[in-house]
Chains A and B, each alone.
Chain A
């Protein structure tokens, strides 16, 4: 009886949304590990913004809002944006950050142009497309969760199959190339996995915040371990935790949007990890420093004491 009572409090929609958010957190947490370790944390930001024109064009071409089609459009545009960033960096003296900002903002701007164009034409069916900017987790349906699950699962399977190769790519790209791994192909493949992780979350969390789902769980996991396998696992768990807790907290009161709440939960996990993780964490560090300082003090005191006694003995034994 009590179990049933518990269930009725969380209605069906909420469970669907929580399930979607958990899946999303798992996928982006696991893949985010690679982004954080390769110092490409902000790539997610570029992909999520650059995806907007792809979403709108996909809608304009097909007239449907099937999640799979929109996600495909988003993926193509996000992928194209990343490719342009990498080519600008390779071919000009413009640095990564400028190329990145340029592509991110201008792609997004182009998406806005297209969006205002179809809004002006009064296509009633377009309503909800701007969910992709701010995210609207509450409107998540069963088919959306299914899309997240299938695409995310696919990305995770690829990650597991190429586990050894990706690990080598992350830690020693030069070595990987020298023993004959196609690093260029692997690089593009990994970027494509990031694209999948980002675009499946756009509708729920929104373009502006989705990048944080790639960064936060991985940064939190990094504090607890030095092993990549454990880090991937932990990041996936943290991502899922942030997704579920964010969904439930936002359901407590009216007017708390789900996406931002999920991000804040992830941020709290990061803050907790940075503060309290063993070995690396701030608390641990300050305790260790304190201890070191004290043992240093004791050692110095002992040394001074020993030296003093030594001198004493010397003085005593010196023939007068």
Chain B
């Protein structure tokens, strides 16, 4: 029983990590839509390879799917090159067409075999562990684990070896081209890996939810850091946390594991989006509020400064009349005065406000700006 859980959790972890790594580059290169397209378009590749091998877990399926994935990218780019169709429309044309071919092939010729659209599109982690890999009669674990483990190592190796090239091609493709780094080659390398990862993962999570694994954790990590290396590590960690907690949540209710992982991915993104320092919603809202009060205090000292030493100063610095001069709500004015007193921008003498040296310098600085 423990072994069953462990199997599923291990598959979930390697799948999430293998998807998050290339996902980082897709998010940074604004190409996650391509992973969405590839994940649908590989269907005819899988089906054709299945007709050839009659084996759902043959490695040929992964190769055929990867080839179809790269073909999708080529088709989209060819369509764009005619200049008759924009990029978004090109993607929107190519993948439904390929997907339709796949669906028709399945329902026309393979309706009685173990290959239905549900399985490819939706996947089910709980069943992934039943397909086990046996070598010389020894059970060495589920096939999914080996496949996704292999993909994880391959992705990791690609990123480590070509880290510099990937970084340059991602952030400044034209510089990379001038320096002779062949960004096109890197681009197709990345697309091949995305295709292979996607098809490797369909067994476990299905091809729509693989998009959640590819785009979700990197998008979340992108909110948290400015460094590529840190973003890669964070994405893998977030991906694993999402996958494991998704499984633990799904298990007691018996609902779709992949679906729950996707749901958790969205919730984690939302949570990080709320609480992350500097860029989070809460941080933004707090900054707005702080700026509002700071601005009001600056207005107050400028007002006092403008009338300082002039005949009307006595009238203008009367605390009870301030709100009329500055056209504020009386309660708002009281709070601003209180804050300015606390900050020692002003001092109170009887019913009047007097600028302190500090307040005067703030007013001067604000006016110069």
Contact = CB atoms under 8 A, between A and B. Distances in A.
Contact of B107 (A133, A223, A257): A257
Main secondary structure of the interface of B (DSSP, over half): helix
Contact of B255 (A93, A100, A116, A263): A116
A44 interface: yes
A109 B262 contact: yes
A66 interface: no
B202 interface: no
B89 A261 contact: no
Contact of A97 (B32, B111, B210, B266): B32
A267 B259 contact: no
A212 B96 contact: yes
Interface string B259-271: 1111101100100
A223 B96 contact: no
Contacts of A109: 208-209, 212, 256, 258-263, 265-266
Interface in A26-72: 36, 39-42, 44-45, 49
A216 interface: yes
Nearest to B34: A97
A116 B256 contact: yes
B92 interface: yes
A170 B7 CA distance: 52
A102 B263 contact: no
Contacts of A113: 250, 255-256, 259-260, 263
A208 B108 CA distance: 19
B27 A117 contact: no
Interface stretch (B97-105, B160-168, B288-296, B324-332): B97-105
22 contacts: A36-B86, A39-B86, A39-B89, A45-B36, A94-B223, A97-B31, A98-B27, A98-B222, A101-B32, A101-B215, A108-B208, A109-B212, A110-B266, A112-B259, A113-B256, A116-B256, A116-B259, A209-B99, A215-B93, A259-B100, A260-B100, A270-B93
Given A95-B30, A264-B100, A102 B122 contact: no
> Could you say which interface size class chain A belongs to?
35 or more
B214 A101 contact: yes
Contacts of B136: none
B82 interface: yes
B91 interface: yes
Nearest to B31: A97
Contact of B96 (A111, A209, A261, A282): A209
B40 A208 contact: yes
Interface residues of B, number: 63
A116 B99 CA distance: 24
B96 A255 contact: no
A108 B219 contact: no
A36 B89 contact: yes
Contact of B104 (A93, A110, A257): A257
A9 interface: no
B96 A112 contact: no
Interface in B129-174: none
A76 interface: no
Interface in A64-98: 88, 91-98
B97 A263 contact: yes
A120 B259 CA distance: 15
B313 to A, nearest CB: 45
Interface in A216-236: 216, 218-219, 222-223
A134 B254 contact: no
What 5 pairs across the A-B complex have the smallest Cβ distances? A109-B262, A112-B259, A212-B96, A260-B100, A106-B266
A154 B96 CA distance: 27
A26 B77 CA distance: 29
B262 A106 contact: yes
A191 B112 CA distance: 41
A311 interface: no
